[in-house]
């Protein structure tokens, strides 16, 4: 199965601004200690970010092994956790620190992404957002650019872990969104950065889980798991459900004119069409031998969805739309699988069964959720301030 995953643009740190009436500057030694930990976080995150920049030559020896990549990610997460712990410790002695600075991080994902908030938890949110984005981008880098027949199994397992971890961080960010206070100018309340609202975080969490579920479905195809093609259809059906739910949230609650977000949304819709075609195709294979008439009905549906998938490519060739994240390969793989299965079942039916497709609609095998996020929690100190 061909993997084509999204990349998530990272937030860019903007220098924090001390309030003009800040009381915290009376303790410069503590302030300097905190700033040092914050600078280390930003440095660690940015060093990984450079590797994902287009045309980047930053791929040191650490990227060549699983252990090296794990260490890069661990070092970044440890730096953020260290900053979090230092802030929590400082707040016990200097609670005023919580609101003495305005923090701002630039965003290229949604329109209202560059705001100033006087809440230290917003600063942590942005750091953890970048951790989640890095984990997703690592999975894309490994499976969409580095995978070969020789390392496929190892990279799939590694990327699967990264994606479940990313989903956990997006969930953590949703929890934090309840606590981060709004910034007021006079009587006007300014909301948080749009890319830290619960809706976009849930959208990204679902996409991370969908991509992890894709890996699980691919492994099922390769290893012929217990349940055979029926289990594959169930796993693929859940991929569709994840993407459909994500798209529903985006259409109802998220507004953006940024190409970065629009590309992710368009690609998610393409994924729905691709995996619906594949779900019906594998359902047809699992049912055909025992009930060829019903199998042919599922086969006809897979062909219908495959035509929808092909339409994405036709429109792209006519310059009516673009297919982001090298989705053309995904389209071709889908069409090849569906066509091969249609030819096989049609040939067998003409030689052996000679039946007509059953009357529909028929029910697909129920979705089976394999991908579950890895839970991530904040220190208890941050539940209140």
Q: pLDDT of 170-184, one tens digit each?
A: 999 999 887 775 555
Highest mean pLDDT among 46-60, 112-126, 241-255: 241-255
Range with the poorest average pLDDT among 86-90, 142-146, 151-155 = 86-90
Let me know whether 268 and 150 are in one domain: no
pLDDT at 72: 85
Q: How many CB atoms lie within 10 A of CB 269?
A: 16
Length of the chain as a residue count: 385
| pLDDT for residue 151 is more than 90 | yes
| pLDDT for residue 58 is more than 80 | no
Q: What domain range includes position 51?
A: 12-217+372-382
pLDDT at 295: 97
Q: Do the domain assignments include residue 134?
A: yes
| pLDDT for residue 89 is more than 50 | yes
Q: Do the domain assignments include residue 88?
A: yes
pLDDT at 20: 64
Find where tokens 């890069």 sit: 72
Q: Do the domain assignments include residue 364?
A: no
Confidence band of 364 (pLDDT split at 50, 70, 90): very high
Let me know whether 245 and 158 are in one domain: no
Taking each helix axis as running N to C, give the angle between helix 28-52 and helix 120-141, from 0 to 180 degrees, rounded to the nearest 10: 20
Q: Which residues pair with 145 in a beta bridge?
A: none
| pLDDT for residue 2 is more than 70 | yes
Q: Do the domain assignments include residue 358?
A: no
pLDDT at 91: 78
pLDDT at 154: 96
Let me know whether 184 and 57 are in one domain: yes
Instruction: For Cα atoms 200, 139, 214, give the angle at the middle one, nearest 5 degrees.
Output: 80
Let me know whether 17 and 161 are in one domain: yes
Query: How far apart are alpha carbons 146 and 158 in whole angstroms?
Result: 12
Let me know whether 259 and 151 are in one domain: no
pLDDT at 218: 95
pLDDT at 60: 63
Q: How far is CA 370 from CA 62, 139, 207, 213, in A?
A: 30, 17, 14, 6
CB 8 within 8 A of CB 109: yes
pLDDT at 68: 86
pLDDT at 367: 98
pLDDT at 25: 58
Query: How far apart are alpha carbons 15 and 6 in whole angstroms?
Result: 29
Per-residue pLDDT of 97-149, as tens digits, reads 777 788 888 888 988 767 778 888 888 999 999 999 999 999 999 999 999 99
Let me know whether 247 and 277 are in one domain: yes
**Bigger pLDDT: 375 or 383?**
375
Let me know whether 156 and 243 are in one domain: no
Let me know whether 265 and 190 are in one domain: no
| pLDDT for residue 185 is more than 60 | no
Query: How far apart are alpha carbons 1 and 7 in whole angstroms?
Result: 19
Ramachandran area for residue 324 (φ above 0: left; ψ -120 to 50: alpha; else beta)? beta
CB 312 within 8 A of CB 327: yes
Q: Do the domain assignments include residue 365?
A: no
Query: How far apart are alpha carbons 45 and 76 in whole angstroms?
Result: 6
Let me know whether 143 and 260 are in one domain: no
Q: Do the domain assignments include residue 143?
A: yes
Percent of the chain with pLDDT over 70: 88
pLDDT, averaged across the chain: 88
How much is the pTM?
0.93
Tokens of 166: 């990313």
Query: How far apart are alpha carbons 259 and 242 in whole angstroms?
Result: 22
Q: Do the domain assignments include residue 181?
A: yes
Let me know whether 35 and 69 are in one domain: yes
| pLDDT for residue 382 is more than 80 | no
Query: How far apart are alpha carbons 302 and 229 in whole angstroms?
Result: 14
Let me know whether 182 and 248 are in one domain: no
Let me know whether 183 and 332 are in one domain: no
3-state secondary structure the chain: CCCCCCCCCCCEEEEEEECCCCCHHHCHHHHHHHHHHHHHHHHHHHHHHHHHCCCCCCCCHHHHCHHHHHHHHHHHHHHHHHHHHHHHHHHHHCHHHHHCEEEEEECCCCCCCCCCECCHHHHHHHHHHHHHHHHHHHHHHHHHHHCCCCCHHHHHHHHHHHHHHHHHHHHHHHHHHHHCCCEEECCEEECCCHHHCHHHHHHHHHHHHHHHHHHHHHHHHHHCCCCHHHHHHHHHHHHHHHHHHHHHHHHHHCCCCCHHHHHHHHHHHHHHHHHHHHHHHHHHHHHHCCCHHHHHHHHHHHHHHHHHHHHHHHHHHCCCCCCCCCCHHHHHHHHHHHHHHHHHHHHHHHHHHCCCCCCCCCCCCCCCCCCCCCCCCCCHHHCCC
pLDDT at 314: 95
Domain count along the chain: 2
CB 197 within 8 A of CB 180: no
pLDDT at 385: 47
Cα-Cα-Cα-Cα torsion 79, 81, 87, 88, nearest 10 degrees, comes to: -160
Q: Do the domain assignments include residue 281?
A: yes
């Amino acid at each position: 199965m061909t993997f084509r995953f999204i990349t998530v643009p990272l937030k860019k740190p903007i220098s924090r601004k001390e309030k003009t009436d800040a009381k915290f500057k009376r303790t410069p030694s503590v302030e300097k200690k905190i700033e040092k930990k914050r600078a280390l976080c930003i440095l660690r995150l940015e060093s990984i970010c450079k590797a994902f920049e287009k045309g980047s030559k930053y791929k040191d020896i650490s990227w060549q092994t699983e252990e090296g990549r794990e260490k890069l990610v661990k070092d970044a997460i440890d730096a953020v956790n260290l900053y979090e712990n230092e802030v929590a410790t400082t707040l016990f002695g200097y609670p005023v620190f919580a609101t003495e600075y305005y923090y701002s991080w630039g965003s290229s994902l949604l329109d209202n992404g560059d705001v100033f908030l006087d809440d230290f938890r917003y600063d942590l949110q942005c750091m953890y957002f970048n951790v989640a984005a890095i984990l997703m981008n690592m999975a894309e880098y490994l499976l969409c650019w580095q995978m070969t027949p020789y390392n496929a199994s190892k990279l799939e397992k590694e990327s699967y872990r990264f994606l479940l971890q990313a989903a956990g961080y997006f969930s953590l960010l949703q929890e934090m969104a309840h606590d981060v206070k709004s910034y007021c100018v006079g009587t006007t309340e300014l909301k948080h950065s749009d890319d830290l609202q619960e809706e976009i975080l849930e959208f990204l969490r679902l996409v991370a889980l969908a991509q992890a579920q894709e890996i699980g479905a691919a492994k099922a195809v390769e290893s012929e798991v217990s349940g055979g093609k029926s289990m594959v259809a169930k796993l693929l059906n859940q991929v569709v459900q994840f993407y459909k739910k994500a798209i529903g949230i985006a259409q109802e609650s998220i507004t953006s004119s940024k190409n970065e977000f629009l590309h992710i949304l368009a690609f998610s819709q393409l994924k729905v069409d691709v995996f619906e075609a594949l779900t019906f195709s594998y359902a047809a294979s699992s049912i055909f031998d025992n009930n060829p008439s019903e199998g042919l009905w599922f086969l006809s549906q897979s062909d219908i969805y495959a035509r929808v998938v092909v339409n994405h490519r036709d429109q792209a060739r006519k310059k009516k739309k673009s297919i982001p994240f090298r989705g053309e390969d995904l389209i071709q793989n889908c069409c090849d699988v569906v066509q091969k299965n249609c030819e096989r079942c049609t040939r067998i039916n003409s030689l052996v069964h000679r039946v007509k497709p059953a009357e529909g609609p028929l029910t697909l095998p129920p979705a089976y959720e394999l991908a579950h996020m890895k839970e991530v929690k904040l220190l208890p100190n941050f539940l209140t301030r």
